[in-house]
Amino acid sequence: MKAVKVRLKARGVIAEMTHVPHESASFHVTGEAIYIDDIPVNDQLLVGRVVYSPHAHASITSFDLSEARTIGGVHAVLSSRDIPGHNQMGPVVKDELCLAEGDVVCVGQAMFLIAAETEEQCHEAERAIKVSYKPLETILTIEAAMEKNSLMGPPAIIERGDVQGALRSAQHRVKGELHTGPQEHWYLESQVCLCIPGEGRDIFVHSSTQHPSETQALIAEVLGIGKNEVRVEVRRMGGAFGGKETQGNHSACWAALLCHATGRPVKIRLFRDDDMKITGKRHRFLSRYEAGFDNDGLIHAMNIDLNSDGGCATDLSFAIMQRAMLHVDNAYFIPNARVIGRVWKTNLPSNTAFRGFGGPQGMAVIEAIIDRIARHLKMDPVEIRKRNFYGTDSRNTTPYGQTVENNRLPLLYDCLMQSSEYRKRRIEIGRFNAGNEFFKKGIALTPVKFGISFTTSFLNQAGALVLIYKDGTVLVNHGGTEMGQGLHTKIRQIAAAEFGIPLDRVKVNATDTSKVPNTSATAASAGTDLNGMAVKNAIDTLKVRMAESMARLWTEKNPDKPSKAVDIVFKNDAIADSAHSGRSISFAEAIPHLYLRQVSLGTTGFYRTPAIGWDKEKGYGKPFHYFAFGMAVTEVLLDTLTGRHTILRADILHDVGDSINPQIDLGQVEGGYIQGNGWVTTEEVKWDEKGNLLTHSPDTYKIPSVQDIPKDFRTELLQGVPNPGTIRKSKAVAEPPLMLSLSTWLAIKDAVSAVGNHEIEPEFSLPATNEVIVLSIERIRANKILRPGVTVSVRGE
């Protein structure tokens, strides 16, 4: 109760100080916001097209581009032989060809590039390309990859305690298998890049990429030129969600090759269906687990095998598997734990980052385990969750050795159980279910604990370049990119607050590799944490310079009463000496003085996250600067005849520290949860037996729409919980809320379980599509034992 009061009291104050709309909100609404496809170019612009493999695995025995090259309006038709530099676009491991050479390894792999004056000419040229193939054996599932031992690389392991011993001596054991499905990013703006040739070898690149520095590097490599000749600019992306962390590079490299070959501006914008076929998705996982627990539901041990479908190339698969392994504990202390992660290689497009970056796949396993434990012990799952939560003083180290500091789980749990009226509704749901044969309700609470930092520790760095012009306006450059998440808005707020000036005096520039070098991807939810600190660092440097000069100026005017730089403050749109009243000048007026006094009014800033480090070979260390926490209660109504569900109510309480911008943070929390709901319910990716994607457009792939929003949606930010050691005591928000959607998945399972009066455990994979639900209900109605090999055993059996 106390925490709830604190929360509500603090709310009005914070909302008032930080009620700032997204910096592009009005542009988004009026259509003025410029996306790459809107950038005006001269009449030299050519359309670029990528011709991709129709086979999942085949060797190219011959190809002939000569006829395609003769078609009117066609300026270039390129194969791997026409690449002036290195034929590679693997971001970490160099195992991803820019254009196929010898073999094709998935449907959708780029083989040839066309630049022509019109789209139609591109299509005509594509039809004129002749290729012959020899089909090769294909691997299209994790199971098939296991059978063929098609591993992408060595397995990784995290281990603590005596897992086998603890499993053996446990009062109960639960064992099983969980499939979690892929997910298509469905950014509204498909992959797009515009390249404009400059003088000499210069190339100016407008790319929809989360990682401009990597895009720059790969273009330099495929063209065989210096990075200093490639300039990549990103004004904004029309959504990315991890899908442009590495795979924005692809269209960029292809457009750059065509631009280089033709000497003309070239734009590649993937048609939606092509985008869906060519690009990788969230990794599907096949996870096998065993957990040992006691009569009270306390977990003593878990043994978990995670297997992911990496697709045909490495991309970020190992980092994603690592994050999955680091999140199988989710919010729970498990004294004896062993987690093995294996990435399997298949003949599908290379899977990639997607909001949560493996975290959702890992967490789904432990949440499934807990749900099964509760059903076995006939206890409410919230009890099992609560009992296993990380402690504050003891039971607070993760299996990989990091202490869970500033644990918000108990506070979130107490507040949310109360505000959501969980217990009362649980009883009402029981009554409803007893009185309804065909409609059933279900409810579930799930927590999220998500580690913030890139697990590849050196990536946790950021740079900035802050410029003050003579009229007192400020231009901020930083390495992060805007994809709708509100990073630039927060950076603008940070800069204005640090200078003590109004927001409208600060502009955040488009991200530009010629302003800030060697940046990391805007990813891992760390955009504001890293870039915000780098911007603050630059502003701190400028403020010292400005303060010293102002102090000297005031001292020169009155040498008897010297001003000291340390007393100079920047607030209320003014620079003032806090030790001498009357010594104050407005910010805008001060700048011309400082200019005349030859003070440098532009500088760089830098930040690296302190005190983190992690040995991935040993599976031990402190990979994360801190953890983000959240919790959700979801209630669903299920039509047991069709499998259709409606979310009646969702209550979310999420921890973002001291929010820099509560409206943006609430948007991220709600958006993440809804996006996750798509993953756990309707978004089903299917391929045919030849590796062709069947679900390649919105008519076959169902993302959440406005009807899928909870009928009663209550989202709140936890208040009064400043996060130590971060920019303005804030916390990252972006990815963690996606995993709150596991409450929807388990609420549906709860409703299905009600069909059998909670006597028979439903079989449940993820996503819980209507089909999965109906089949699960049919099995319950037929009262069958569910999946062979999935058993709950009691000691002594």
- Pick the closer one to ligand MOS by CB: 242 or 480: 242
Radius of gyration (C-alpha) of the chain in whole angstroms: 28
Residues 348-367 that bind ligand MTE (CB under 6 A): 355
Q: Is 485 in the site for ligand MTE (CB under 6 A)?
A: yes
The residue within the footprint of ligand MOS, chosen from 23, 245, 275, 763 (CB under 6 A), is: 245
Interaction between residue 210 and ligand MOS (CB under 6 A): yes
* Residues within window 239-278 making contact with ligand MTE, judged by CB under 6 A: 239-242
Q: Residue 157 corresponds to which amino acid?
A: I
Token representation of residue 785: 């034992």
If one asks whether residue 242 binds ligand MOS (CB under 6 A), the answer comes out as yes
Tell me how crowded residue 686 is: count the other CB atoms within 10 A of its CB. 13
Single out the segment in contact with ligand MTE by CB under 6 A; choices: 237-245, 262-270, 329-337, 687-695: 237-245
Looking at beta carbons only, is 529 or 635 nearer to ligand MOS?
529
- Please state, as a whole number, how many other Cβ atoms lie within 10 Å of the Cβ of residue 13: 10
Distance CA 236, CA 487 (A): 10
Considering the complex, state which of residue 265 and residue 672 has its C-beta at the smaller distance from ligand MTE.
672
587 binds, among ligand MOS, ligand MTE, none (CB under 5 to 8 A by kind): none
- Region 356-385 residues binding ligand MOS, contact defined as CB under 6 A: 357
From the list ligand MTE, ligand MOS, none, pick the one residue 678 interacts with, judged by a Cβ distance below 5 to 8 Å according to partner type. Answer: none
693: left (phi over 0), alpha (psi -120 to 50) or beta: beta
- Rounded to whole angstroms, the Cα distance separating 480 from 482 reads 7
Q: Nearest-5° angle of CA 193, CA 197, CA 199? A: 155
Binding letters toward ligand MOS, positions 339-358, x by CB under 6 A: --------------xxx-x-
In angstroms, rounded to a whole number, what is the distance separating the alpha carbons of residues 409 and 406?
9
Q: Which of 460, 511, 528, 753 binds ligand MTE (CB under 6 A)?
A: 528
Q: Which of 708, 744, 754, 773 is nearest to 440 (CA)?
A: 754
Closest contact distance (angstroms) between CB of 358 and ligand MTE is: 12
Scan residues 62-91 and list those touching ligand MOS (CB under 6 A).
none
Q: In angstroms, how far apart are the furthest CA atoms of the chain?
A: 95
Q: Does 28 bind ligand MTE (CB under 6 A)?
A: no
- End-to-end CA separation in angstroms for the chain: 45
Sheet holding 568-571, edge to edge: 568-571, 574-577, 584-586
Count of residues that bind ligand MTE according to CB under 6 A: 20
The tokens 């107490």 sit on which residue? 414
- Minimum Å gap between C-beta 698 and ligand MTE is 18
Sign, CA torsion 95/96/97/98 = negative
Considering the rule CB under 6 A, would residue 671 count as an interface residue with ligand MOS? no
Q: Decide which of ligand MTE, ligand MOS, none touches 462; Cβ closer than 5 to 8 Å per partner kind.
A: none
Two tokens at 675? 């996006």
Binding mask 715-744 for ligand MTE (x = CB under 6 A): -------------------xx---------
| φ and ψ of 292, to 5 deg | -115, 135
If the CB atoms of residues 465 and 524 are measured against ligand MTE, the closer one turns out to be: 524
Q: Per the residue annotation, which of 245, 367, 735, 763 is the catalytic one? A: 735
Q: Residue 525 CB, nearest distance to ligand MOS (Å)?
A: 6
Residue 699 burial (CB < 10 Å; 0-12/13-18/19+)? exposed
> Which run of H or E residues covers position 143?
helix 142-147
Identity of the residue, 247 or 336, whose beta carbon is nearer to ligand MOS in the bound complex: 247
Tell me, yes or no, if 120 is annotated catalytic.
no
For residue 5, the one-letter residue type is K
| Sign of the CA dihedral with 79 first, then 81, 84, and 89 last | positive
CB contact at 8 A, 655 and 449: no
Residue 191 interacts with ligand MTE (CB under 6 A)?
Answer: no
Shorter beta-carbon distance to ligand MOS: residue 282 or 696: 282
Nearer to ligand MTE, 385 or 490 (CB): 490
- Kindly state the tokens that stand for 562: 């010297």
From 235-243, 358-366, 372-380, 625-633, give the range in contact with ligand MTE by CB under 6 A.
235-243
Instruction: Report the distance separating Cα 432 and Cα 239, nearest Å.
Output: 41
Element (H, E) at 128: helix 119-128
State the Cα–Cα distance between residues 534 and 532, nearest whole angstrom.
5
Which of 307, 325, 385 minimizes the C-alpha distance to 632? 385
Q: Residue 183 or 433: which CB sits closer to ligand MOS? A: 183
Which stretches of 51-131 are DSSP H helices? 66-70, 119-128
440 binds, among ligand MTE, ligand MOS, none (CB under 5 to 8 A by kind): none
606 and 534 in contact (C-beta within 8 Å)?
yes
- x/- letters, 728..747, toward ligand MOS (CB under 6 A): -------x------------
Q: Which of residues 458-517 bind ligand MOS (CB under 6 A)?
A: none
Which pairing describes strands 336-345 and 439-452: parallel, antiparallel, or unpaired? Answer: unpaired
Q: Which of ligand MTE, ligand MOS, none binds 352 (CB below 5-8 Å, type-dependent)?
A: none
- Closest CB to ligand MOS among 265 and 358? 358
Per-residue burial over 386-398, b = 16 or more CB atoms within 10 Å of its CB, e = otherwise: bbbbbeeeeeeeb
Pair 154, 344: CB distance under 8 Å: no
- Work out whether 184 is an interface residue with ligand MOS (CB under 6 A): no
Please give the size of the binding site for ligand MOS, defined by CB under 6 A: 10
Residue number of the CB closest to ligand MTE reads 527
Q: Which is nearer to ligand MTE, 203 or 494 (CB)?
A: 494
Q: Which of 178, 483, 535, 685 binds ligand MTE (CB under 6 A)?
A: 483
Task: Give strand ranges (E) for 490-551.
Answer: 506-508, 511-512
Residue in 217, 226, 247, 254 with CA at minimum distance from that of residue 80: 254
Using CB under 6 A as the binding rule, whether residue 523 contacts ligand MOS is answered as yes
Provide the mask over 650-679, with x wherever binding to ligand MTE is found by CB under 6 A and - wherever it is not. ------------------x-----------
Interacting residues toward ligand MTE by CB under 6 A: 239-242, 355, 480, 483-485, 487, 522-528, 668, 734-735
Q: Give the catalytic positions in this structure.
A: 735
Interacting residues toward ligand MOS by CB under 6 A: 210, 242, 245, 353-355, 357, 523-524, 735
